A and B are shown apart, each in its own frame.
Chain A
Amino acid sequence: MLRLLHLSAPLLARSALKRKSFMSIILFFLVICWRAAASIAWAVLLLPPSTAIFVILSKFSVLHPIQTISECFSMLTSATAIFSFILLCGVIIMVGFLNFEYYTVIPTIACSKIALFGQLLHPRQLVNSLVHCIMGMIVAWCSAVTIGFRYETLGHPCAQTDGYHQMCLNEYHLILLLGGAFVGFSHSLLGVIHNMNYVSFHTVQQYKYLRFKGCLPLVVKCSATQALYSVRNFIVVYYFLGYIPRTWICKTLNLHLGSSAHPLDSIAGLLDLSLLYHLWISATFLLFTWYITLLLFRIFLTEGYSFPVQSSFTEDADHCLPKVLTEKQPMILKFLALQDLALLSQHSPLRRCEVFSLSQPGGHPHNWNAISKECLSLLADLTQRLVAYHDTVATNGRAKSLSSGSERKTSSETSDFMSPRPTSPLTAPFTPDLDSPFMSPALRRLAAPVEQGSPWYGTVQSPHIMRRVKNFLAKRVLIVYLFNKLPEASSQALFADSQAHIWALEGLSYLVQASFSEDQFGVVQTTLPSILSCMLVLQEAVDRHFKLPHASSKPVRSTSSMGDSTYKTLRFALRATLKTAIYRITTTFGDHLNAVQLSAEHRKRLQQFLEYKE
């Protein structure tokens, strides 16, 4: 009997765990999948107007405006148009699905070029690229059919010298298809380089429609410029390598090369303005529909979700804010819960009241305890991470890699869930480190300063010349280029998930501020010392981190890209939020803070804040 109990105890625990994860899966389906589906539905609904605009722009001719309009009407009602429209809907649904499958709220930051290549060559990414390639080709086929006239079919009958008809290759159709495939492929590659799958949360809450309306001009601009660059690259590629797919197609489909016109991989053939325009407009159409899908997905996913703080029914308890906050997976739910916490602490007195309330039987502040504990553990985790990073930098003289460093794993075992983990196992060993076993001895010799015993030592003594030699080598050797650490990338990687910390800081500080007048039972007072010391320790760690080279250098902002570069400035946002959060507490409580139990060092630091000297 006893044995049975022993056996059943872990089993019970496991089943409880399963039930918990099951509940979170249900919530995930209720919230996230519903949002993704809604965003895809809207993207499909927006397809007819954008297609109509594309048809008008692609067929427009200045000399015959009336004819253009009648042509467009007849085009839009034809059977092929309807078929290609259905195809386009399928592509949009597929793109939406890929967005949903590949999105992340914590960006993957490549610390060196080789890590970036690792990301690009990861099988998952290759599948993504291939699918985008095919979808690009499908969209290009649809646009070829829509544009009509010389682009319409792959083969056309042509007369040979001996009189009888045979099928010739229509290179205009082919170049459009290949262009679509190329644009789709480069879209997928740029997605990795610019972290386009990263979904960031906005500080300014807006209604979905207004946010969409505000972003629409940017999407148009981005898709037009990106299409321009992609088409330029495509033309260069086609000029040099265009004959390969052409002859291959001819061979497999048994088509002949038309002898009449210029072949399109010549300068004369490519300087056809109408062809360039059609390539560009179809690439713009392709990117525009995809970007719209991505934009809608981001807007729907990051919309604030209001979790109940507490529920009177036990079966709903798993959907409540304190429970969802502590869940580790899926990450998006945790982020939404933290966002909700930050918003409720700022704007809703009624919900704050629930946070400060006591449980009905027992009189325990369960809600506040769960929330504050989770927020504090998040902040403590970040502090630990920063301290560990700083220690490795201080001891080795250079930074150990973030994700491959084993010491980090052990140090933050307790709260490892928030660490920026690489999505691919491939990238982990590729994260750069000159000491890593991955580096060949030859390389290490190249990178390391010249040893005393080497023949270099006698001849080259001036450190100036040595540095020049080193620079020379570093410039020449491709591998060093690949393995060299990108500046500030490690700093970005450290703070990759800092949006969560920012919300935790905001939520805690606003709740503490509100507790001054709203907390009837004094539940916040018990945790105030730990909140203050946690924030002050983090403040110290952040200050130390920003003294490192590259940590405080501002990244270059890129405005004309759909990739979200918010993650590059998260560390600055965190630093500012942390300071504001401490000031919020000190300004509210003022001299009452002298009654709070703190260590002497923290008190000294707090005094700086009380005197506004930080």
Chain B
Amino acid sequence: MCSLALFPPPLPYGQTTVCESNNELLSGSSTEDQLKQDFSPPSLSFPRESLKLHSRTENSSKAAFLDHSETLWMRSAAAWRDGGLTGLLNEITNSHPEVPKWLSMSSGCILALLQWVSSFHGSLFPHLTLSSEDMIAEFSQVLNWSDCVVRAFAWHPHTDKFAVALLDDSIKIYNPKSATTPTLKHRLQRNVAVVQWKPLCASALAVGCQNCLLVWHVDPCSLSTRPSAGCAHVLSHPGHAPVTSIAWSPSGSLLVSASPMDTAMMVWDVAAESCVPLQRVGGGGVTFLSWSPDGSHVLASTPSALFRVWETRMWTCERWPCIKGRCQSGCWSPDGSRLLFTVQDEAVIYSLTFTNTPAAVPSGTSKGPHAAVVVADLSETTFSTPDGDIIVGGEIQSLAWDPRGERLAVLLKGDPRAADRSPIIAVFKTRVSPIFELLPCGFVQGEPGAEPRLMQFHPNFRHGALLTVCWSSGRITHVPFYFLSASIPRLGLSGSPTLPHVQERPADFANQSLFTEFIS
């Protein structure tokens, strides 16, 4: 087993990663050093000061008004509407001069009983005691979500436009071919955890937020900068909030959503606004979803040390118990045959392989592997640089694999308490076929003081791979990796098929490989 020690050392202070070219990462002193290219997506910056944040934190405007006395019935009705059963019981218990003693006593007892039961439930699944905002922050793929200016980011799967969800609960859509940048705002769009564009569609954008799921229809030809709330469909199901992860099927027909509060994973037929809950015992919720690019499997991780891999033909699942912690992140190879995932509190990347059974066989369960294989060890490594020793490695926040399966980006959490261990992105070169290989590529670093928070690969960058990184400073930059594809360009969903390059050559990998299937 090899480690991060094989990586080239991080850049000295003040240098930023610009691109990869000729098999090495180039750096520059400022972001303006970008190479000239035919496609350059806008690199944006959202300073925290420019956002108009909510001045009030709570939803209700009760505090601004004078208290006036209502009848018990009115107050009870309001409490029922706002707080449900517990609210009603609370109201009855607290207004004891007006209600008979036995009623306030009994409601107090019921309330205590309910709280005891919920605390018992909470001790089984500690995450249930979190507030919804903390819960999103805990299970989000974004590092330090609650403090992040850019809370979610999504490239359109077919075009060069992208959506950015900001701290002020608005979503902006940038299109390099269009001058208008529509801003999406909705009453229910609060604490956006995740956004994703619908495949095989130009306009639909799904947004997972605190209370519900929204599907926006943003007409690409429209010149309006503020699409009305009528363009959004609200999808909600009782008990299914906050939504921390969503995934569209690659064929664009279904949407799955997950909430850590709900043990069921929802499969939505968005146009019909109907959903099928898929419930299994164990786990205590669903936190992260990832649909394999070939559409055959869905990874669903839970807050417990357990994750499931669903097969999408008959919707049966395999249970995968982990030893240490919950599955934090995962990503699929382009052909859907390999799943890489990471586990909380562990600094390694695991791999699972799936072979698709011939679909003519009616049995839906695919014969999966029996155990996961460790493919990379990212435990802490010290690099000595001119600026002093830098420690890199540790826990992993998220994984991203480029659509051709040649670059794997790993966002390392670092340690917020230690100054020399800031979050960093490590990039691997990968090869999926004929054998799986993992080789070091380098670290992607931003401006001094900026920490990576969120990353995503462009779905169809023609010259290699394009990694988009959102930084803690509110800046969004794009790091291109120029290479010639070693594999035959895949047909199907990711853009129109291009002819194989004549001068194509397999990338000559560094002679020390981090992982190949021959070694393990």
Residues of A whose CB lies within 8 Å of any CB of B are 202-207, 210, 214, 306, 346-351, 506, 510, 513, 516-517, 554, 557, 566, 569-570, 572-573, 575-577, 579-580, 583-584, 587-592, 612-614
Contacts and interface: CB of A to CB of B under 8 A. Distances in A.
Interface in B192-217: 200-203
B179 to A, nearest CB: 15
Contacts of B497: 516, 590
Contacts of B276: 202, 204, 206, 214
Contact of A205 (B233, B269, B274, B313): B313
A579 B270 CA distance: 14
B495 interface: yes
Contacts of A210: 315-316
A570 B274 CA distance: 11
B439 interface: no
B176 to A, nearest CB: 13
A583 B491 contact: no
A573 B362 contact: no
B267 interface: yes
A557 B275 CA distance: 12
B496 A590 contact: yes
A587 B220 contact: no
A381 to B, nearest CB: 21
Contact of A569 (B156, B273, B360): B273
A347 B357 CA distance: 11
Nearest to B252: A580
B1 interface: no
B313 A613 contact: no
Nearest to A306: B362
A573 B358 contact: no
B23 interface: no
A207 B362 CA distance: 11
Contact of A203 (B203, B253, B277): B253
Contacts of B271: 569, 572-573, 575-577
Nearest to B204: A576
Contact of B495 (A205, A579, A587): A587
Contacts of B277: 214
Contacts of A517: 491
A613 B273 contact: no
B202 A613 contact: yes
Nearest to B220: A613
Contact of A580 (B201, B314, B495): B201
A579 B201 contact: yes
B254 interface: yes
Contacts of A566: 272, 274
Contacts of B496: 587-592
24 contacts: A203-B253, A203-B272, A204-B267, A204-B269, A205-B315, A206-B276, A207-B314, A207-B364, A210-B316, A214-B276, A347-B313, A348-B358, A350-B360, A510-B251, A570-B272, A576-B270, A576-B271, A577-B271, A584-B200, A584-B252, A587-B496, A588-B491, A592-B496, A612-B156
Given A205-B313, A348-B359, A613-B221, A557 B273 contact: yes
B300 to A, nearest CB: 15
Contacts of A204: 254, 267, 269, 276, 315
B159 interface: yes
B326 to A, nearest CB: 25
A614 B251 CA distance: 17
A510 B250 CA distance: 13
A577 B253 contact: yes
A346 B251 contact: yes
Interface in B362-378: 362, 364
Contacts of A510: 251
